Amino acid sequence: MSPREDTVLSTMQDVPLLVSRILTHGSTIHGSSQVTTWTGEERGPRRRSFAEIGARAAQLAHALREDLSVTGDERVATLMWNHSEHIEAYFAIPSMGAVLHTLNLRLPAAQLTWIVNHAADRVVIADGSLLPLLAPLLPHLKTVEHVVVNGPGDRSALTGAADAAGVRVHDYEELLAGKPTAYDWPDLDERTAAAMCYTSGTTGDPKGVVYSHRSIYLHSMQVNLAQSMGLTDRDTSLVVVPQFHVNAWGLPHATFMTGVNMLMPDRFLQPAPLAEMIERERPTHAAAVPTIWQGLLAELTAHPRDVASLTQVTIGGSACPPSLMEAFDRLGMRVFHAWGMTETSPLGTIARPPAHTIGTDQEFAYRLTQGRFPAGVEARLTGPGGERLPWDGESAGELEVRGAWITGAYYNGPDAEPLRPADKFSEDGWLKTGDVGTISADGFLTLTDRAKDVIKSGGEWISSVELENALMAHPDVAEAAVVAVPDDKWGERPLATVVLREGATTDFTALRAFLAEEGGIAKWQLPERWTVVETVPKTSVGKFDKKVLRRQYAEGGLDVEQL
């Protein structure tokens, strides 16, 4: 459309929003901010400034372009823990115009192989410590030509497999050595692909989501809002959420915009080293899924440490149990609950209570919600018949969202049309999240369940999350997961699987009574099937794996007691 004569044209410069601009900004304006990587060794952690990371990202880009001839939008995968080299890859690959593909190192081998082949990755940058995982896959990776090995690790297994598969093996530091420390980053179209991530497949096959430079840039600004994480260069963020789990929730990019220091746990994700790194490195912020925090809480209870620096904790990925939030409050750590998905970059909501509720008895209830939608994320609720539901805090429906950092399709190969399955995208292009909940008049989302996890009992819905939260509030319960199981009379009924704390004295009848009396659970929603498990199975990103529980039940693998 050509501008009409009376159209006022914007006078603003059209500067593309690129990952390279975030890198250049962070490595100059905030050049002295640091990425600290835990080593678990006596000599202490490794430290690298943002300026050094900028220089090394340029060297990596030169190496990829000149030695490995990566061109255009070729995919360069990473199979790495959280550390400074992974940050270098995060910036170098998109900035040079290629596409960063973060691989989830906890996926089963078959799924990982499928994902690499589907994305047609040409290069894999892998930690030496992860070679035992990568080597057996190599013969099955159809498009991989180069493996770049970072850090120590036994490389012998890789050599044989690589030779057989015709793959060339390089050393990360050797590739970088001597390369120029500046790169003339190309002026890309901001809508081009910058990074890709596959969903972890909690409820189905993995699906590829491709982020653009523009979406990453805008999402990073939203992460930095005071009403989101709101960190500054006075902060240090402990990034526990893996860099392969939706861009570590946007933290690497957001921190380079504002100079927030990063503390990276590498492979030391167990409660004891996490507690130690908090005490020694004194981060002010941390981000991880609830299961990590449950573990840390148990550790801190058993072995108290000085964790007073950590005043802000972002919890998301699955619902934060109220008991966990209360326990962290007692430790002086303030939990901010957030909701998001691979498809939403991921930050979709974050729970910062409205000003007028602070200090009132409404405040805690607001903090327990999944949170408020920021500018840039539009939301609507759809009922079972496709009708729009009001934002009244009561009408529950499937959440649909739209926005500049929300995917409008799934990746389907370099030359193929993206996929828009009808169960995932509405006809008018909104993402159907598969999450069921309510929205209050002031825009706070409360999720009651995932559409696939909700228990459909006699035409009514029972929220598995509500039962789990109520159970986990019992002092004898360490973890609880509730799944739907088939029932002749009601269609489905809840099965409660509980992990008991050491020395627990309770029984199922008492737990059921606790749910009714303390948890406020309606009588018809109380589970009659119960089982004790040693641990709740977890997905590759640390969420309760309800698929596995349902299968174990179906195969008779659980010792179930019926009340």
Enumerate binding residues for ligand ADP (CB under 6 A).
199-202, 246, 316-319, 337-342, 370, 433-435, 447, 450, 541, 543
Q: Which residue in the block uniquely carries the two structure tokens 């080299």? A: 85
Could you tell me where the beta strands, DSSP code E, fall in 258-395? 261-264, 285-288, 312-315, 334-340, 347-350, 371-372, 377-382, 388-389
Dihedrals φ, ψ of 547, to 5°? Answer: -60, -45
Least gap, CB of 206 to ligand ADP (angstroms)? 8
Q: What is the rounded CA–CA span in Å between residue 404 and residue 512?
A: 45
Closest by CA position to 247, among listed 60, 62, 93: 93
Nearest approach, Cβ of residue 346 and ligand ADP (Å): 6
Max Cα–Cα distance, the chain, nearest Å: 81
Contacts of 1 (CB under 8 A, 6+ apart): none
Neighbouring CB atoms inside 10 A of 555's CB total 8
Catalytic residue set: 199, 343, 456, 461
Nearer to ligand ADP, 190 or 398 (CB): 398
Residue type, 317: G
Return the structure tokens found at 30.
């905030």
**Which of the 8 DSSP states describes residue 333?**
P
Token pair, residue 486, equals 């088939």
| C-beta closer to ligand ADP: residue 58 or 210 | 210
Q: What is the DSSP string of 53-119?
A: HHHHHHHHHHIIIIIS---TT-EEEEE--BSHHHHHHHHHHHHTT-EEEE--TTS-HHHHHHHHHHH
Q: Tokens 């290629």 — which residue? A: 98
How long a stretch of residues is the chain? 563
